[in-house]
Structure 1
Amino acid sequence: MELIAHERAQSFLEAAGPVLLGDEARHNLMFGICSTLTEDPDAYPTFRLWTVASDGETVLAMLMTPPFNLLVGQPADPAALQFAATRLMEQSIVLPGVTGALPEVDAFAECWQRLSGTSRRLRMAQGIYAVRTVRLPPAVEGGMRFANTDDRALIVEWFEAFAAESLPEGAAHHEAEDVVDRRLRSSGGFALWEDREIVSLSGFGGQTPHGIRIGPVYTPPPLRRRGYASALVAHLSQHLLGGGRDYCFLYTDLGNPTSNRIYMDVGYELVCESADYAFE
């Protein structure tokens, strides 16, 4: 086997495409990061892109955008995970943690623990969901519109509130203003639900070859349990699917049964489970 480093997202995707497209939903985050690297290279000042090849065929894809975790894909050959971990260790690559779908993320984490002597801590167990056909919820007061630069201050405020409430303790994160500004000028963006005032927010972006990711989704606590988030995600997903995407994806916190239920109610189906581990 051979560990190959790529300097550009395009060459990485050309090599990794065969293994990533085998389960596009599972790898939507990896595709989305590459989309961001192509659209806005300054979003990640440093990045590392690797594939593992065996007999000339790609069997594993991985990437890292420090200080964020290593992101591992599903291997075509499970032995590639041990090989990759060994090669990264030999190259003195520092890993803050690893993120990926089960079971590959667990397999890599176990290899890294043996090699490095570190332990792992689960920061968040997540579900990766996808939808092809939306089930619109019963009538909810208000309607959806897309955000513009006039909404920037509120979006930044709510993005910060979402991060404080939802992101695992100690996890790396982008500054809210940077994320919002990048989304507002990219192929992604934000949708808002209005009921006499703005009551819910959903981002979208991170394009894949045939889909796009939804999130973050945020409703201020006093406005929850009125169906606003469900209605917004359903109508936004339907709009994006109607625009030519084959599916929309989103991540959920598996520790929050309410969010998992409301997305399933509008047509999202669980593709796989994912884990975010910190190495300590």
Structure 2
Amino acid sequence: MRPDDWHLTEDVEDFLARAGDFLRSRPGPHVMQLTWAERVRVRGTSAFGTEAPLFGALDRAGEVVATFYRLPLRALGLSPLTPGQADSLAARLANLGHPLSRVSADHGTATAFAEAWRRHTGATPELRDTRLRLYRLGTLAPPEPLPPGRGRVLGEQDLEQAVFWCSEFARAVGEDVRVDAGSWASTRYADKRYTLWERPDGTPVSIAGMNPLIGGQIQVDVVYTPAHLRGRGYAGAVAAEVSRAALAAGARDVVLFADLSNPTSNALYRRLGYRTLADWAVYDFS
């Protein structure tokens, strides 16, 4: 397989015209490809600084069989690749002098690329301790009974609430990002719709968000309950509420990521009807 079989472009519209059907054919494994392509398409490349995002598609006999995206800060995201495809991409990016800080993909793909990148560049890959699992919703099974309270969808007038809760979430998961009113529009949190679970007196106790409908799929992203309020069913209630809203919005598939080091949240998602789609890995490059 030749490295130059990969078609590279900074034009997201060109990328989607070439690879859109391929990505939508398996929206679950391609969730990050679809999400970031849409984010760049909506926001424009100027929103990502001086270094434009890079996209690529591997063509075989007129048919796209694999894709990647490379974001500013040199983060690479991959569709599922064979070891040969991973090696050809690593060779292409190395030959072009494109440095990488990390790669994110399903575990097999990420591992194959990390080894290929080491061979072609000498960079040392280091597997992150955080292990993720990608789930897809089967049949939604809301918890019974629900905790007292109700779900409330946040609107534009609730920006302060959204900023506060997302900043708390980012801090809790150790995400290296600033989330405040000034930086909000440039963060990954800005394009989601959020639902708060509120006690009968209106006190918010848990939040869940969902991405826009892309390729017939919605990703539930950001499910958070403060530590002192956990164990009372709030996360299950708000996650079920958002999952139901995603289905009502027309999603054929609803997916989410969970940290495998947290058995409580993984068990919760399985009770709600989510089933394992893939294990995910991130390698950092020295």
1:85 counterpart letter in structure 2 = A
Provide the identity percentage. 27
- Kindly state the Cα deviation for residue 4 of structure 1 after the two structures are TM-superposed: 1.1
Cα deviation for residue 67 of structure 1 reads 1.3
2:147 aligned partner, one-letter code = V
Secondary structure at 2:72 match in 1:
coil
Aligned partner of 2:148 in structure 1 is 141
- Aligned mate of 2:42, from 26, 39, 50: 39
Residue aligned with 1:36, SS = helix
Q: What residue in structure 1 maps to residue 64 of structure 2?
A: 58
Residue in 2 aligned with 1:251?
257
Give the deviation of 1:221 after TM superposition: 1.4
Note the 1:78-93 alignment, pairs <5 A: 78-93=83-98
The correspondence for 1:194, drawn from 198, 207, 223, is: 198
CA–CA separation in structure 2 for the residues paired with 1:92 and 1:151: 44
What do residues 8-43 of structure 1 show as CA deviations (whole Å, max 9, x unaligned)? 223212322354334311111110111211222254
Unaligned runs of 5+ residues in structure 1 are none
- Matches of residues 3-82 of structure 1 in structure 2 within 5 Å? 3-41=6-44, 42-45=46-49, 46-67=52-73, 69-75=75-81, 78-82=83-87
Secondary structure class of the residue paired with 1:67: helix
Helix, strand or coil: the match of 1:118?
coil
Tell me how far apart the structure 2 counterparts of residues 269 and 253 of structure 1 sit (CA, whole Å).
14
Do the aligned partners of residues 80 and 173 (structure 1) sit closer, same or farther apart at CA in structure 2, a change above 3 Å counting? farther
The alpha carbon displacement at 1:180 in A equals 6.2
Matched length? 275
Corresponding letter in the other structure for 2:119: R
2:215 — aligned with what?
209
Note if contact 2:83-2:113 (Cα within 8 Å) is conserved in structure 1.
no
- Asked if the contact 1:132/1:241 (under 8 Å) is kept, the reply is no
Q: Displacement, 1:96?
A: 0.4
What is the aligned counterpart of 1:164 among 154, 171, 174? 171
1:126–1:81 Cα change, 3 Å: same
The corresponding residue for 2:267 is 261
* Structure 2: distance between partners of 1:279 and 1:185: 29
1:153 aligns with 2:160: yes
How far apart, in 2, do the equivalents of 1:68 and 1:175 lie?
21
- 2:108 maps to which residue? 103
Conserved 8 A contact 1:132-1:246: no
Letter in 1 for 2:208: S
Alignment CA distance shift 1:82-1:160 (3 Å): same
Query: How far does residue 92 in structure 1 lie from its aligned partner after superposition?
Result: 0.5
The two structures, once aligned, show a CA RMSD in angstroms of 2.2
